[in-house]
Structure 1
C-alpha cells in the first residue's frame, strides 16, 4: 500500500507530461508575398474574402461617425452635462460659479 502511494505523484506527473505533449508548432516558410497570398495572373482581379467588405465598412464607418461627433463637439458626456446644468441653474436664478465667502476666520 505504501509503495503504491509513493508511486502516485510520479504517475500523475508522467500522465500530465504525456497528455500535454503534442506535435511541434508548424512553421510557414516565408514566400515574399503580402500575407502569403500569391497575386492573381495578369488581367484577373483578386477574389475578396467574405469578411473583408464588412471590415472595411465597419472600420471606415466608425471613423466617419467619430469624426462627425468630434467636429460637433460631442467629445464627452461631461461637456454636455455641464452645459445642461448651467442652463438649468440660470433658469432657477442660481449662480453656477463658486465664489468663496469672505469670512473673518482666516
Structure 2
C-alpha cells in the first residue's frame, strides 16, 4: 500500500511540475480544435492518395490473411455435432435393416 501511495504521489508531483513549466493557460494550447481532420492528418487535394505508414501494409496483409484462413478453415472443418452423428447412425441402421430383410436388391 505504501508503494502505491508513493507512486501516485510522484506521478502527481511530476504532472504539477510539467504544468508549472509550461506556464499558465497551457491547457488551451494543447486543445485540438475540430477541423474535420481525422487523427490530425493533413487535408489532401482531390485525387491525391493517402500515404500509408510503414506498419500499415503488413498489418492489413496479416488481417486479410487471418480472415481468409478463418473463413476457409471454419468452413472446411468436420461436422462433429450430435445431430449429424445421430442422422448418420440412423441412416446406417436403416440400411442395415433393409439389407437384413432382403430389400437391398435394386
Band the TM-score falls in, shorter-chain normalisation: 0.3 to 0.5
TM normalised by structure 1 equals 0.44
- The alignment's TM-score, normalised by the length of structure 2, stands at 0.44
Q: Which has the higher helix share?
A: 2
